[in-house]
Amino acid sequence: MQPFVTISVGAACAMPDAPRLEPLLHRADSAMYQAKRAGRNRFVIDAATADARHG
């Protein structure tokens, strides 16, 4: 039997002049766990990032 691999990805964006990295990492981490809860092979963009893209 061959190995079966799946991935869950969470993404978040911030302005280059953001004062701290930790909030960005927290948002990306939260998006990743949302992807994991949704099932295999998922990609989730942080809601604030998605809002900024469509705003």
pTM as predicted: 0.76
Exposed, middle or buried, 22 (CB in 10 Å: 0-12/13-18/19+)?
exposed
| Dihedral over Cα of 54, 15, 48, 38: its sign | positive
pLDDT digits (tens, 9 = 90+) for 3-49: 988 999 999 988 888 788 899 999 999 999 999 999 989 999 998 87
pLDDT digits (tens, 9 = 90+) for 41-50: 999 999 887 6
